[in-house]
Chain A
Amino acid sequence: MRRLALALAASLVLAAASDRAAAADAQRGQELYESRCGGCHSLDANRVGPAHRGVYGRKAGSAPNFAYSTAVKNSTVVWEDRTLDAWLTNPQAVIPGQRMNFRVALPEDRTDIIAYLRQQSGK
């Protein structure tokens, strides 16, 4: 019974995430990206953080010519909806020892930012 309840809860969480992804607004995501992420990131230039064009679908720590932390460089995480959502929720929980630490609190904001990054990665 407990297993069934856990499975049901997990499927509800996944369904909610899936619903959010389906409703993602990449245009709003661009606005959020520019105002929230733009202090440190650009699509095509390494700044305080790495360049983001192409981030969706690539392995963490693989943007060319960016000096990553050892933790990110050694990570096996691949950036897609689920991992990016977890990363933007709490980077330290995904890759302990990373240097970003910036959090996006609202799920709908994360979803839209991820939709924009995915769009800009041609995925």
Chain B
Amino acid sequence: MSQVIDLRRRGLLRASGVTVLSASAVALLAGCEKMAVAQSGNTANDVGILNTALALENEAISAYQIGAQSGLLQKPVLDVAVLFQTHHKEHRDALIATIRKLGGTPVAAKSDAEVAQALNAAALKNQADVLRLAQRLEKGAANAYIGVIPSFGDRALAQVSARLAADEVMHWTVLSQALKDPLPAKALSFGA
């Protein structure tokens, strides 16, 4: 199947209230080519949300890179950190592909040095410090993905946002276990 979007057809279908773009986005992010029909939405706004998500993923990739290169992580924690970074890279690649498919321009990543400064990485002194930073970022990312769900014009992208949030929660849970933190006492501890 061709990956090129027929813009004339896209405009025609959007005018009729059906969008092929959302199906393309879902196909990319879901890793399948099955097309779904979704409600028409504000594509420019959706691209903006996806670009913010991309910036967040880029920051996470840098944060794990900084942690992995710090010399503070021991195996098997180091292997887990590298695996989580791989997940964030997969999120990044899917977001970039979807933003482009929707006609947008993906934001550029900041350098690791810029991210290190913004996250005050110089204050990291041991493995627990690195895990605590990663845990905080993963929780923030999960809540960010949950918090933007109502803003998507395309409900299929909202569902994708929930799937991305689930990955971040999985990371948060593993990191919390490594830190021997207690489990949340109450339900609904993520999101609004």
A interface residues, Cβ below 8 angstroms from B: 34-40, 42, 45-48, 69, 90-92, 97-106, 109
- Contacts A36-B147, A40-B140 known; list 11 others, CB within 8 Å: A37-B140, A40-B52, A45-B117, A47-B118, A47-B119, A91-B151, A98-B48, A99-B52, A101-B49, A102-B144, A105-B192
Please state if A92 and B118 are interface contacts (CB–CB under 8 Å): no
Top 4 A-B pairs ranked by shortest CB distance? A39-B140, A101-B151, A39-B144, A105-B192
In the assembled complex, B86 has its CB within 8 A of some CB on chain A: no
Q: How far is the CA of A99 from the CA of B49 in the complex (A)?
A: 6
Please state if B147 and A104 are interface contacts (CB–CB under 8 Å): yes
Q: How far is the CA of A5 from the CA of B24 in the complex (A)?
A: 49
> What chain A residues lie within 8 Å of B119 (beta carbons)?
42, 45, 47
> What chain B residues lie within 8 Å of A92 (beta carbons)?
45, 151
Please state if A38 and B52 are interface contacts (CB–CB under 8 Å): no
Point out the residue from A48, A101, A109 that lies within 8 Å of B192, measured CB to CB.
Answer: A109
Chain A binding surface SS class = loop
Q: How far is the CA of A106 from the CA of B120 in the complex (A)?
A: 31
> What chain A residues lie within 8 Å of B48 (beta carbons)?
69, 97-99, 101
Inter-chain CB contacts under 8 Å: number: 75
Q: A48-B59, A100-B52 are in contact. Are A42 and B118 (CB under 8 A)?
A: yes
> What chain A residues lie within 8 Å of B118 (beta carbons)?
42, 45-47
> What chain A residues lie within 8 Å of B192 (beta carbons)?
36, 103-106, 109
In the assembled complex, B141 has its CB within 8 A of some CB on chain A: yes
Q: How far is the CA of A109 from the CA of B118 in the complex (A)?
A: 26
In the assembled complex, B85 has its CB within 8 A of some CB on chain A: no
> What chain A residues lie within 8 Å of B51 (beta carbons)?
99
> What chain A residues lie within 8 Å of B55 (beta carbons)?
40, 48
Please state if B139 and A103 are interface contacts (CB–CB under 8 Å): no
Task: Closest B residue to A51 by CB, please name it.
Answer: B118
Please state if A101 and B140 are interface contacts (CB–CB under 8 Å): no
Please state if B148 and A103 are interface contacts (CB–CB under 8 Å): yes
A32 to chain B, nearest CB (A): 10
Q: How far is the CA of A69 from the CA of B107 in the complex (A)?
A: 12
B158 to chain A, nearest CB (A): 11
Q: How far is the CA of A103 from the CA of B146 in the complex (A)?
A: 9
Task: Closest B residue to A98 by CB, please name it.
Answer: B48
